[in-house]
Structure 1
């Protein structure tokens, strides 16, 4: 398979009279992302699909969310077709979604599982997790999108119950266990590269959100949309364990105690994916510091090894 060419913002020379905003974001180091992830993210974000298609798809998708909500008033509350939903999602991902977007979607399951594993293992009341680690798009057929949301809520509930039962609070452990963190090993070149694989991540999510609402119960859809607000919760857990509260600035999916409208679920899902990537990258930095010095301590939020 031929090597994928560089995205335009990296291939063309910098022109000071017409600087590329995408190049500026790629060179900026204020957010912790590996170069490969940042390149894929910005290549997807700067695509023609996102620039020209997304502005039309987003209002249409939100209109469908409203119409489907009205229609579901007249169907049984437990009406659900999760198997059909996941089959359609896999079909759409394989045939129409860009390689970068598919790669980032698959990575998200792995990274989210590792972040929860980090919290569960370093809690003063350890909690087990149920990792979701799809090797390819086909593996998503096993209801993985639905399981992802269920895992998150179940983890928060199990952690809260374990801490309350023992009268404990989450705190920085004497020694951090970072052994669960690793690169997922997924390769961008293994993603579908057909002629129709052009749809960017945000457009794909906007299209899939009404489908998610249509083929799941209202309760499942509402829970999925509001699971995004647990980004702050997971961020607080990690910041507490790392004693690095300033890193919460990277998480901004709104307050978990204030449910938001499902109309913006598509955009917030993209923010959720990026927040997970940055949180995982931050944890990997702590892991690297630990490997160099043996133990990671945090002083004013900085990782140091001794």
Structure 2
């Protein structure tokens, strides 16, 4: 990071402990250390503390108003390219470096998680990885394609399993070859004088814009894809035989669609749970490689 978060540079006062420092030092949940620093630096920013409480009710009001507007406009009217150009412009000019880094990183780690499940299924399924290297890549309908990829993966995986008469099962030696740290650097993110907006405020503001410029079907699919977190978590947990990690999932149940009003908050949870699952897989890969190295050394 360009500079350490404030909670890391401040001296600890037992009479006034810093809650962000406590969360950073806690190691009870799996998450990459650099991701955790960026996440907490963004969460502890003045933008989130001051702007988010005003942005959230405003954005949710817009969602309701735009939903009414959708009833009197053509249902298939969409401006996906305009939407993604607007999102890229907002990210480039107004969003904090940590938030932009976490957003771009999400496409990478999400793609790796799906590739892991697809490769370790008894009926292997190919995936369509999204690996944006710069904010400009968002213009290529990246957010919309991300949602489509998730639903298409679930459909293809389960059709393949059904056709083969198989189910996902524990794999003793999983293939972790696709799990790696994305080649994105926080210091490469834009950091101008107006790049102040935190991740959650940005998501809350983007959500009604997403709704306005896409069809009802696209918006509904996007918001309810968040409830597939538990589905994807179950897939990975079955392969790893590690269902205890599902306790951290909050976007459920996939068979009970939730209101779109809380989509911004749930999207934040989605990003965090994806990072945690990626960390579990990354650590499992490291442990597997260490065990293989030790076995090779003993044999040699």
Q: Once structures 1 and 2 are overlaid, which stretch shifts more, 247-256 or 55-64?
A: 247-256
Per the normalisation by structure 2, the TM-score is 0.97
Asked whether the 8 Å contact 1:124–1:173 carries over to 2, the reply is: no
Match of 1:294 in 2: 292
Aligned to 1:40: 38
1:135, CA displacement in angstroms? 0.5
Shift of 1:159: 0.4
Cα pair 1:228 1:268 within 8 Å, conserved = yes
- Alignment counterpart, residue 200 of structure 1, candidates 194, 198, 217: 198
**2:220 match:** 222
Match of 2:88 among 78, 90, 95: 90
TM score, norm. by length of structure 1:
0.95
Structure-2 residue corresponding to 1:70: 68
Corresponding residue of 1:129: 127
| Residue in 1 that maps onto 2:8 | 10
Q: CA deviation at 1:174?
A: 3.6
Deviations 1:165-210 (A, max 9, x none): 1111100124200000011010000000000000000000000000
Which portions of structure 1, spanning 4 or more consecutive aligned residues, are displaced by more than 2 angstroms?
Answer: none
Q: Take 2:226 and 2:32, find their aligned partners in 1: how far apart are those partners?
A: 23
Q: In 1, distance between residues paired with 2:235 and 2:124?
A: 13
Give yes or no for the alignment of 1:278 onto 2:298.
no
The alignment covers a number of residue pairs equal to 293
Cα deviation 1:95-152 (Å, max 9, x = unaligned): 0000000000000000000000000000000000000000110011100000000000
Q: For 1:251 and 1:123, locate their aligned partners in 2 and report how far apart those are by CA, in whole Å.
A: 22
Q: Residue 294 of structure 1: CA displacement?
A: 2.1
How far apart are 1:7 and its partner, in Å? 1.1
> Take 1:92 and 1:216, find their aligned partners in 2: how far apart are those partners?
17
1:211 is matched with which residue? 209
Q: Deviation of residue 5 (structure 1)?
A: 2.0
Query: Which residue number in structure 2 is paired with residue 61 of structure 1?
Result: 59
Structure 2 CA distance for aligned equivalents of residues 111 and 281 of structure 1 = 9
- Whole-angstrom CA distance in 1 between matches of 2:253 and 2:246: 12
Residue of structure 2 in register with 1:253 after alignment: 251
Q: Could you tell me how far apart the structure 1 residues matched to 2:90 and 2:146 are?
A: 19
Paired position in structure 1 for 2:108: 110
Larger RCO (alpha carbons 8 Å, 6+ apart)? 2
CA distance in 1, matches of 2:19, 2:246: 25
Larger helix fraction of residues: 2
Give unmatched runs, 5+ long, in structure 2. 294-300
* 1:149 alignment counterpart: 147
Q: In structure 1, how many angstroms separate the alpha carbons of the residues matched to 2:42 and 2:270?
A: 16
SS in 2 for 1:272: helix
- 2:263 is the alignment partner of 1:243: no
Return the alpha-carbon distance in structure 2 between the equivalents of residues 280 and 7 of structure 1.
23
Which residue is equivalent to 1:31? 29
What is residue 166 of structure 1 aligned with on the other side? Answer: 164
Query: Residue 180 of structure 2 is aligned with which of 179, 182, 188?
Result: 182
Structure 2 match to 1:50: 48
How far, CA to CA, are the matches of 1:286 and 1:62 in structure 2? 40
